[in-house]
Amino acid sequence: MEEIPGLSIPLTLYAPETAIKDIIGEKIADTSLREEIDDSFYVVDLGKAVEQYETWMKCIPRVHPFYAMKCNHDNPLVKVLAQLGTGFECGSKREIQTVLDCGVKPCDIIYANTCKQESYVKFARQNGVSQMTFDNEDELYKINRVYSDSRLVLRLAPDDNSALTRVSFKYGCPPANAQHLLNVAKGLGLNVVGVSFHVGSVVQNPESYADPIRAARRVFDLATKLGFQMEILDIGGGFPGDLYAQIVPPFQKFADVINRELEQNFAASEFPSLRIISEPGRYFAGPGYTIVLNVIARHTIDYCDDEDDDKKAPEFRYYLNDGLYGSFLNTSYKPVTLIPAFLKERNPDEPKYSSSIWGQTCDGLDFITKSCTMNKLEVGEWVFVEALGAYSMSSCSNFNGFNTPACYYVAPKHLRALLEETFKPDELKT
């Protein structure tokens, strides 16, 4: 592997045939970015975001992705996406600032938090970030006070029951209330320009996008009748890409439903200047991030049946150096058993044992996997979890005094020119 010299981030290029285990092996030996040799870390393959972008543009070319910053605000990822030309979905002042600092134009940002702090709305105004969502009447009064010439997008609450993470109970306006909100906006002289929805995260049924696209069309018609110039359709996030991609349909199935519904409800001939955007998070952030963890401790529970004195197979509790307060908050409450991959190969006929996997903090809630069956691990060995870039490092804390994992950035060799353009010297601090 070869380092590109002089860039604002340390970045190594790998040859196309290089296996992730070889990259991990090299980074375990390279402690330049870690405080301790056995600290956990991420290998971040920026090439995966580029691949995802190319796939998106091939499958759903009418939809301009606005990357959902909350998913992972890691600066090099944001920089690469900005360089490729995505827009950005932001939910807070800091997210907006990060994206602006990466040179993104305000018109390529949507402030898609329907319940905003008033001072943040002022900040958006000062920075020309005019596109923002709303889903309730009070938000309209707030926006009218501080940013009355903003460009408003009405967020609908779709049926999100096919998603592993649902949000419609918290955000969005039932389509039946749309007319009322449009009337209020009209009465205030505000400028409604679009409709959005978000069908939740880790969507299992691609057909979930069909109804909300149809509902959005009905709201477009209502708004147009009221005299609003409708310019934006925002189909939200929820697309596969991270470790849950294994349990949901492939991206192409989502693309098929979306293209079909756009054609039927928002045909290009009828809406020639409509800007169709989306807010994918997992899709872009998930695939490139592999966390590498050290087995820092093991507790063997040796069961002995008192009655017949037969020894049962032992159970193992493993302790890894990241967990619920680090990268695994979001995975912990999903109905999926997460078993890390082992760096050291195992013989297929090695026995498997009842096991549980815990994080390093002293909190009893800090688990990664409560119950699974797997080969035995040794203290000090390394394991890894691929495609863990979504909602992982973005919610890491330093609870109990533990460091957040360092990132080692890598990319395939053929992306050299793009990356040299993206990470000009000294432009960016990670």
Residue closer to ligand PLP, measured from CB, 68 or 99:
68
Query: Is residue 71 part of the contact set for ligand PLP (CB under 6 A)?
Result: yes
Cβ 68 to ligand PLP shortest distance, Å:
4
CA distances from 421 to 7, 76, 105, 400, 405 (A): 10, 12, 18, 39, 27
Count Cα neighbours of 153 within 13 Å in the Cβ-side half-sphere. 30
Q: Which stretch binds ligand PLP (CB under 6 A): 100-108, 137-145, 264-272, 275-283?
A: 275-283
Q: Which residues pair with 65 in a beta bridge?
A: 278
The pair of three-digit structure tokens given for residue 313, joined into one six-digit string:
């197979």
Q: Where are the alpha helices (DSSP H) in 18-130?
A: 20-29, 47-59, 75-84, 93-101, 118-126
Site residue total, ligand PLP (CB under 6 A): 17
Q: Is 396 a catalytic residue?
A: no
Query: Is residue 99 part of the contact set for ligand PLP (CB under 6 A)?
Result: no
Q: Identify the residue among 65, 281, 340, 359 touching ligand PLP (CB under 6 A).
A: 281
Query: Is residue 73 part of the contact set for ligand PLP (CB under 6 A)?
Result: no
Cβ 52 to ligand PLP shortest distance, Å:
11
* Geometric angle at alpha carbon 197, from 165 and 113, rounded to 5°: 80
Return the CA Rg of the chain: 24
Cβ 65 to ligand PLP shortest distance, Å:
10
Query: Is residue 282 part of the contact set for ligand PLP (CB under 6 A)?
Result: yes
Please pick, among 362, 372, 396, 407, the residue that the annotation labels catalytic.
362
Q: Which amino acid is at 76?
A: P
Query: Is residue 240 part of the contact set for ligand PLP (CB under 6 A)?
Result: no
Query: Is residue 361 part of the contact set for ligand PLP (CB under 6 A)?
Result: no
Query: Is residue 280 part of the contact set for ligand PLP (CB under 6 A)?
Result: yes
φ, ψ of residue 413 to 5 degrees: the values are -55, -35
8 A C-beta contact, residue 308 and residue 326: no
Query: Is residue 198 part of the contact set for ligand PLP (CB under 6 A)?
Result: yes
8 A C-beta contact, residue 39 and residue 321: yes
> Largest Cα–Cα distance of the chain, in whole Å?
83
Q: Which stretch binds ligand PLP (CB under 6 A): 97-105, 234-242, 334-342, 351-359?
A: 234-242
**Which residues make up the interface to ligand PLP (CB under 6 A)?**
68, 71, 89, 112, 167, 198, 201, 236-239, 279-283, 390
| Active site residues per annotation | 362
